[in-house]
Amino acid sequence: MTPEAPIEDFSDADIEVTEPKDYAAGMGGVFHSMLPSLQTLGVARSAKLLTKINQKDGFDCMSCAWPDPGHRKIAEFCENGSKAVTWEATPVTVPREFWQEHSLTSLEDKTEYWLGMQGRITEPVYRPKGSDHYEPITWDRAYGIVAEHLNALDHANEAAFYTSGRASNEAAFLYQLFARMLGTNNLPDCSNMCHESTGTAMQYTVGIGKSTIAYDDFAKSDLIIIMGQNPGTNHPRMLTALQEAKEHGAQIVAVNPLPEAGLKGYKDPQRVRGYLGKATEIADQFMKIRLGGDMALLQAISKRVLEAEGRAPGTVLDQEFIAQHTDGFEAFAAHIATVDDREVEQATGLTTAEIDELAERYLNAERVIIAWAMGITQHRRAVDTIKEIMNLLFLRGNIGKPGAGASPIRGHSNVQGDRTMGVWEKMPDSFLDALGAEFGFEPPRDHGLDSVDGIRALDQGKVKVWMGLGGNLLGAISDTNLAESAMRKTRLSVQLSTKLNRSHVITGEEALILPVLGRTEVDMQRSGPQYITVEDSVCAVHGSHGQIDPISPEVRSETAIVAGIAQATLGDRYDVDWQGMIDNYDVIRDHISRVVPGCENYNEKTRRREGFVLPNGPRDERRFDTETGKARITVNELEPVECPPGRLLLQTLRSHDQFNTTIYSLNDRYRGIKKGRSVVFVHPDDLADLGLEDGQTVDIFSEWKDEPDRVLRGFRTVAYPTARGCAAAYFPEANVLVPLESTALESNTPVSKAVVIRLEPSNTPVGVGRPVVV
Ligand SMILES: Nc1nc2c(c(=O)[nH]1)N[C@H]1C(S)=C(S)[C@@H](COP(=O)(O)OP(=O)(O)OC[C@H]3O[C@@H](n4cnc5c(=O)[nH]c(N)nc54)[C@H](O)[C@@H]3O)O[C@H]1N2
Ligand SMILES: Nc1nc2c(c(=O)[nH]1)N[C@H]1C(S)=C(S)[C@@H](COP(=O)(O)OP(=O)(O)OC[C@H]3O[C@@H](n4cnc5c(=O)[nH]c(N)nc54)[C@H](O)[C@@H]3O)O[C@H]1N2
Ligand code: SF4
Ligand SMILES: [Mo]
């Protein structure tokens, strides 16, 4: 029996709240990981897919960017990987009648969950100007429409080309080539909302915006500090690496305002002991930090390191590393000496004893890794916080040696690869030179728009064609209301997608949805089945081979669509054989090998079963390609996050059953939430101070300068052991509360983890489906 899409939308009316869990995975993990795929795909299709995820001859898990170990187990996937695969490989499809039955206006009330559950998109559809419906269209006509619009622009900068991090290296390379041949660097991507702060800080301090460790380094480390990351949900197989590290003697410290289950304990579902027995305790120390307090914490630890050196000169700092490889130490030491412990306590909500304990652990460890994700990058002072992470690592030479280094844990499975391939609004001249030389054209040099500036440009009517290679910008970006009204002003919006989301419902005057092949599916072109390539969080690049028949003969690969649109738009303006690249992706990879540093002999290297690892100066040879040729120790003025009395700081984060704007179910198992998402987690003492109760319905107001409050109505309070003064709610719903203007300094990433809010009792019932927004 073929499963069918739900007709009714979902409601949060029956939210259930139970105790949060204190460990991740275990039996529950195995069961939960198999269930969705068995239910939707059936046993045979599930077995075929689940035995091929992350295997050397299989396909790369399209969910997160966690790396694969050298030795693969038979089942090398996790619960959330299995959800992602099932979500993509579902046999449910959006029927042709759907577009007659549903006007775009009627779809505006639908949740992301319902939209995604309608199934795979299988034919291109077009919304003509003035119409409230999409209608089927041929591929040729669709390409023609895009080409007409692009060629009618006064300047290529009136177009913008967004990318989400699931796109393959091959598709991403062609996409940026096309945008630049057209004449624009307007290449915003999901990274702008994600690890941009990491890239900015690390590029400045060590000359490369990527992890300086390899997978094996976890097992060689003495101390792993995990800041602002929830691995149990967002990188579940990291728990296996952490467990192995513990078995090799590493200590683990978690820094997080929430007592996340996966940071507390882990039961490995693939081990008999993990299956049946007690959970491995993960964190040796859990620091329940106030939102945005990390910069102060890091400075306080560095201060203690410097003081220890003062007490026993020559024994604490790695003097040789500092002298030979860094600059800026003296100014840093002078500045850190002024760090005020009381200010640190206020900013972090931590006690001096807790901070001393972490400092002791740091001083006693020879090899330290600091890992981080969105809890660090999505703050106003994110870039400086990451610079402080680097400072702390430098003091004891914790970079470019086994078991030590900086480990930003990436989000989307290929977000890092897309950047390597040139999807960035400000690629360096060296890359543009190589691209221009390879294809015989002069790439534009002016920096392009990022995601936030892209929305601003749409709002100002400056961008007239918006294309999205995957993703769901309107669901993902801050200030939903403003973003949506901005998108409506554009002439044409184009989405290359697997499934429906908000960005298909709120569109430009005209709109196209172009259905793409998923990573699970065989990509057949004229020269035979094609593989694509991806890069993980630790710079390892390898091939991914589709396994099952495409959902429909009509869907096309991202690579083919991008090349097809390029051909239709540019015609023979340049001497590029777009069709040849569609027919055989080796041709694209040959170009990549001549343009992208580190990708020489790309076809040969990606055909190796284990792939290859990109060169990395800091990791491989303590080489720092910064402006000064040294690792840069920096001085960063502390600026604690302000929160007026009677207000809370809100972070917006992921539930266990979602992938960004894709909602797999309404549950968040580890945090004890079932059947609903309209919840706001608040410390019980804060609820009491605010005169509110657990389980009460509230409206959430976000306050920003003198702008009118942004409001999200009808949320249920959940008394939760978060840090004092802090609250949490899920994105994408809570994105209406994040002002577009509120971005991180230098990286322009939306400040999604520190929104000043007030809660007021509400008359709006919980469970109206889409949150009520004023
Ligand atoms: N299943 C699943 N996997 C995913 C994703 C998904 O949505 N679902 N998304 C993918 C993507 S694109 C990304 S970028 C990653 C995101 O991975 P994470 O960064 O783990 O994602 P978030 O849910 O945003 O969680 C942020 C964590 O940081 C903590 N935090 C928030 N603010 C602070 C702070 O100020 N200081 C500290 N120390 N901690 C803080 C939060 O309590 C939370 O535990 O996951 C990737 N993997
Ligand atoms: N408030 C708040 N906002 C946030 C965040 C937060 O923590 N808080 N996190 C931010 C982060 S870290 C990120 S990375 C962004 C994510 O922003 P995006 O990457 O734009 O969003 P996703 O939800 O990952 O995109 C999902 C859509 O991608 C399409 N898709 C899925 N698979 C494929 C595929 O294989 N090919 C193609 N072409 N399309 C596909 C589907 O149509 C699906 O609906 O959101 C950001 N927004
Ligand atoms: S850890 Fe990430 S990449 Fe690995 S199987 Fe799980 S979701 Fe997929
Ligand atoms: Mo992300």
Whether 46 shows a pLDDT value over 80: the answer reads: no
User: How far, in Å, CA of 345 to CA of 215, rounded?
Assistant: 34
Ligand 3 contact, 161 CB (< 6 A): no
The residue whose C-alpha atom lies closest to atom 7 belonging to ligand 3 is: 81
Q: What is the pLDDT of residue 276?
A: 57
pLDDT in tens, 737-769: 999 999 999 999 999 999 999 999 999 888 754
List CB contacts of 28: < 8 A, sequence separation 6 or more. Answer: 669
Pocket test of ligand 2: the residue of 229, 660, 735, 755 to mutate, having most ligand atoms within 8 Å of its CB, is 660
* Residue at 606: amino acid letter: T
Rounded to the nearest angstrom, the distance between the alpha carbon of 406 and the centre of ligand 3 is: 20
Q: What is the pLDDT of residue 13?
A: 86
Local structure of residue 734 (DSSP, 8 states): G
Q: What is the pLDDT of residue 672?
A: 97
The atom number, within ligand 3, closest to the CA of 536 reads 3
pLDDT in tens, 508-535: 999 999 999 999 999 999 999 999 999 9
Rounded to the nearest angstrom, the distance between the alpha carbon of 471 and the centre of ligand 2 is: 4
Pocket test of ligand 2: the residue of 234, 494, 498, 747 to mutate, having most ligand atoms within 8 Å of its CB, is 498
Whether 486 shows a pLDDT value over 80: the answer reads: yes
The atom number, within ligand 1, closest to the CA of 229 reads 20
Whether 29 shows a pLDDT value over 70: the answer reads: no
Q: What is the pLDDT of residue 6?
A: 86
Q: What is the dihedral of CA 415, 420, 425, 431, to 10 degrees?
A: 180
Rounded to the nearest angstrom, the distance between the alpha carbon of 76 and the centre of ligand 3 is: 8
User: How far, in Å, CA of 265 to CA of 271, rounded?
Assistant: 15
Which of these ranges, 32-46, 58-72, 85-99, has the smallest mean pLDDT?
32-46
Among the listed residues 3, 8, 11, the one whose alpha carbon sits nearest the alpha carbon of residue 676 = 11
Rounded to the nearest angstrom, the distance between the alpha carbon of 659 and the centre of ligand 2 is: 7
Using pLDDT thresholds of 50, 70 and 90, give the confidence band for residue 27: very low
Using pLDDT thresholds of 50, 70 and 90, give the confidence band for residue 140: very high
Ligand 3 contact, 722 CB (< 6 A): no
User: How far, in Å, CA of 341 to CA of 637, rounded?
Assistant: 15
User: How far, in Å, CA of 587 to CA of 414, rounded?
Assistant: 20
Q: What is the pLDDT of residue 52?
A: 84
Q: What is the DSSP string of 64-111?
A: B-PPPPSSPPSS---HHHHHHHHHHH-S-B--TTHHHH--HHHHTT--
Rounded to the nearest angstrom, the distance between the alpha carbon of 67 and the centre of ligand 3 is: 8
Rounded to the nearest angstrom, the distance between the alpha carbon of 732 and the centre of ligand 2 is: 10
Rounded to the nearest angstrom, the distance between the alpha carbon of 528 and the centre of ligand 3 is: 28
Mean pLDDT, the chain, integer: 94
Share of the chain above pLDDT 90, in %: 87
Q: What is the pLDDT of residue 31?
A: 58
Rounded to the nearest angstrom, the distance between the alpha carbon of 611 and the centre of ligand 2 is: 26
The residue whose C-alpha atom lies closest to atom 33 belonging to ligand 1 is: 375
Distance, first Cα to last Cα, the chain: 43
Q: What is the pLDDT of residue 47?
A: 73
Ligand 3 contact, 78 CB (< 6 A): yes
Measured in degrees and rounded to the nearest 5, phi and psi for residue 272 equal -60, -45
Is residue 23 within 8 Å of 670, Cβ to Cβ?
no
The atom number, within ligand 3, closest to the CA of 413 reads 3
Give the mean pLDDT of 589-609: 97
pLDDT in tens, 293-332: 999 999 999 999 999 999 999 999 999 999 999 999 999 9
Element (H, E) at 649: strand 648-653
Distances 255 to 244, 567, 651 between C-alpha atoms, Å: 20, 50, 15
Q: What is the pLDDT of residue 57?
A: 83
Q: What is the pLDDT of residue 273?
A: 58
Whether 38 shows a pLDDT value over 70: the answer reads: no
Share of the chain above pLDDT 70, in %: 95
Ligand 1 contact, 326 CB (< 6 A): no
Give the mean pLDDT of 720-748: 97
Whether 72 shows a pLDDT value over 90: the answer reads: no
pLDDT in tens, 163-213: 999 999 999 999 999 999 999 999 999 999 999 999 999 999 999 999 999
User: How far, in Å, CA of 206 to CA of 618, rounded?
Assistant: 7
Rounded to the nearest angstrom, the distance between the alpha carbon of 660 and the centre of ligand 4 is: 8
Ligand 1 contact, 757 CB (< 6 A): no
Whether 731 shows a pLDDT value over 70: the answer reads: yes
Centre a 10 Å sphere on the Cβ of residue 338 and count the other Cβ atoms it contains.
9
Which of these ranges, 36-50, 77-91, 377-391, has the smallest mean pLDDT?
36-50
Ligand 3 contact, 289 CB (< 6 A): no
CA 618-236-390 angle, 5° bins: 25
Ligand 3 contact, 63 CB (< 6 A): yes
Read off the pTM: 0.97
List CB contacts of 763: < 8 A, sequence separation 6 or more. Answer: none
